[in-house]
Amino acid sequence: MTKPEKILGLLVLFAGFGIQAAQRRGLPSDLKNVAVTAGLSALWGLCVFGCWLAVKAALILHKEDIKEYNDYLPRLEYVGDPPPRRPPSRWRAAAAPVVLCIIFIVSIVFSTRYIPVPPLEEPSFYEKGGDTMTFSIGRGIGRQMTAEELRQKRPLDLQFDNSVLPISLYADGDVLYADITVAGEDGTPTIELRKNQFTVQHDGWDKNSNKNAIEVINSQSRVVFQLIRESRSSVRLKGAFPIRDGVVIADDTHLVVGHAANECNIKPIFKYPAWKYPGRYVEDYEQPKINEHIPPLPPHRARSPHGRSLADWQNVRLVSVLSRYPRQKVMVLASLGEETWSYAEDFRDVFISSKWAVEGPIPAPIDQPAMDLQLSLAYQLFSAKDLPMPCVALRATLDFLKLKSSRKFVFDPDVPIDKIVLWVGAKSPDTANPNLFPPLGLRRR
Kindly give the interhelix angle for 90-111 and 31-70, rounded to the nearest 10 degrees: 170
Q: In this predicted structure, which of 99-103, 155-159, 174-178, 366-370 has the lowest mean pLDDT?
A: 155-159
- Alpha-carbon Rg for the chain, nearest whole angstrom, is 35
Alpha-carbon separation of residue 156 from 56, 130, 251 (angstroms): 71, 18, 22
Instruction: Work out the percent of the chain whose per-residue pLDDT is above 90.
Output: 3
Query: At 180, is the pLDDT very low, low, confident or very high (cuts 50, 70, 90)?
Result: confident
**Residue of 336, 326, 331 whose CA lies nearest to 414:** 331
**What letter represents residue 390's amino acid?**
P
pLDDT of residue 161: 54
- Residue 130: which H helix or E strand, with range? none
**Residue of 265, 282, 284, 286 whose CA lies nearest to 220:** 265
Alpha-carbon separation of residue 405 from 331, 398, 399, 433 (angstroms): 16, 8, 8, 9
Q: How far apart are CA 179 and CA 218, in angstroms?
A: 21
Q: Is 363 left (phi over 0), alpha (psi -120 to 50) or beta?
A: beta
**Residue of 111, 237, 121, 231 whose CA lies nearest to 176:** 231
pLDDT of residue 116: 64
**What letter represents residue 348's amino acid?**
R
Q: Do the Cβ atoms of 13 and 42 come closer than 8 Å? A: yes
**Residue of 288, 281, 248 whose CA lies nearest to 267:** 281
Q: How far apart are CA 322 and CA 393, in angstroms?
A: 7
**Better-predicted residue by pLDDT, 245 or 394:** 394
Q: Alpha carbon 376 to chain centroid distance?
A: 39
Beta-bridge mates of residue 359: 331
Mean pLDDT computed over every residue of the chain = 76
**pLDDT tens digit sequence for 350-384:** 998 888 988 888 888 777 778 889 888 887 777 66
**Better-predicted residue by pLDDT, 329 or 86:** 329
Residue range 134-156: average pLDDT?
69
Instruction: Work out the percent of the chain whose per-residue pLDDT is above 70.
Output: 73
For residue 273, cis peptide bond before it (omega within 30 degrees of 0): yes
Neighbours of 174 (CB within 10 A): 17
pLDDT of residue 330: 92
Q: Of the spans 26-30, 127-131, 303-307, 441-445, which averages the highest pLDDT?
A: 26-30
* Residue 41 reports pLDDT greater than 60: yes
pLDDT of residue 26: 62
* Residue 39 reports pLDDT greater than 70: yes
Q: Of the spans 58-62, 127-131, 294-298, which averages the highest pLDDT?
A: 58-62
pLDDT of residue 363: 84
pLDDT of residue 286: 64
* Residue 148 reports pLDDT greater than 80: no
3-state secondary structure 368-385: CCCECEEEEEEHHHHHCC
3-class SS at 404? Answer: coil
**pLDDT tens digit sequence for 303-358:** 445 578 888 888 888 998 999 898 899 999 888 888 888 888 899 989 988 889 88
Q: How far apart are CA 389 and CA 16, in angstroms?
A: 62
pLDDT of residue 17: 67
Reported pTM? 0.42
* Residue 187 reports pLDDT greater than 80: no
Query: At 301, is the pLDDT very low, low, confident or very high (cuts 50, 70, 90)?
Result: very low
DSSP 438: P
**What letter represents residue 434's amino acid?**
P
pLDDT of residue 130: 54
Query: At 445, is the pLDDT very low, low, confident or very high (cuts 50, 70, 90)?
Result: very low
Q: Do the Cβ atoms of 440 and 374 come closer than 8 Å? A: yes
3-class SS at 106? Answer: helix
**Better-predicted residue by pLDDT, 357 or 240:** 357
Measured in residues, the chain has a length of: 445
Q: Alpha carbon 249 to chain centroid distance?
A: 12
Query: At 416, is the pLDDT very low, low, confident or very high (cuts 50, 70, 90)?
Result: confident
* Residue 239 reports pLDDT greater than 80: yes
